[in-house]
Homo-oligomer: A and B are copies of this chain.
């Protein structure tokens, strides 16, 4: 294994299979609770073979985090300075909620990492994540000061959108345990609720 990432056809296939299996296992069990045997079994490989592709459990985990971070931040990055403020923020909320629905494993992976103190992720939180949040928060604060949004702290507004949308992925068992949805109707309810919540709070000049 060179450090240049997958090259051959087999490498590409197994590399991807391992990362997908690892996402499954790490997101359910956390870093400490996950075992290489479980990841290998889920990927359909033997444990030594898995270690032929990744140097260590640690390497799989950090590989996952790195690979997923960009996708994870994409919705916020798409917040458009030239759009209508309320529409932009509601749109961002919807994209995040949609990500929670479609990519709950990724959401739980990040949640578990941060919950346990982000020992392997703190540098990127304080780096690109921080930069992006502060940039977009400044944009929101501009909108607020211009009277195009109710006066709300942009940084905490972003936090609240993370919290409310990721809640439906991270705390899925609790949401389902309380609501007992027959299929997925609670996602529609969540969308409508959050739409009303943020529309009511963001709309200025009442």
- Please report A residues at the B interface, Cβ cutoff 8 Å: 28-33, 108, 111-112, 114-118, 122, 125-126, 129-130, 133-134, 150-153, 155-157, 159-160, 162-164, 166-168, 170-171, 173-175, 177-179, 189-190, 192-194, 196-198, 200-203, 206
Asked if B31 contacts A115 (CB within 8 A), the reply is no
List, in ascending order, chain B residues with CB within 8 A of A163's CB: 163-164, 166-167, 171
Asked if B178 contacts A125 (CB within 8 A), the reply is yes
Chain A interface main SS type: helix
Asked if A156 contacts B190 (CB within 8 A), the reply is yes
Asked if B201 contacts A178 (CB within 8 A), the reply is no
In the bound assembly, the distance between CA atoms of A193 and B166 in angstroms comes to: 19
Question: Closest Cβ of chain B: how far from A90's Cβ, in Å?
Answer: 13
List the 3 shortest-distance A-B pairs measured between CB atoms, nearest first: A32-B33, A163-B167, A200-B201
In the bound assembly, the distance between CA atoms of A163 and B170 in angstroms comes to: 10
List, in ascending order, chain B residues with CB within 8 A of A129's CB: 174, 177-178
Asked if A175 contacts B159 (CB within 8 A), the reply is yes
In the bound assembly, the distance between CA atoms of A198 and B152 in angstroms comes to: 11
List, in ascending order, chain B residues with CB within 8 A of A170's CB: 111, 114-115
Taking A114-B173, A201-B201 as known contacts, 13 extra A-B pairs with beta carbons closer than 8 A to each other, sorted by chain A number, are A30-B115, A112-B115, A112-B116, A114-B171, A134-B178, A156-B190, A160-B194, A163-B164, A163-B167, A163-B171, A196-B201, A197-B197, A200-B202
Asked whether A173 and B30 contact (CB < 8 A) given A152-B193, A178-B130, A196-B150, the answer is: no
Asked if A118 contacts B30 (CB within 8 A), the reply is no
Asked if A160 contacts B33 (CB within 8 A), the reply is no
In the bound assembly, the distance between CA atoms of A52 and B197 in angstroms comes to: 51
In the bound assembly, the distance between CA atoms of A64 and B125 in angstroms comes to: 31
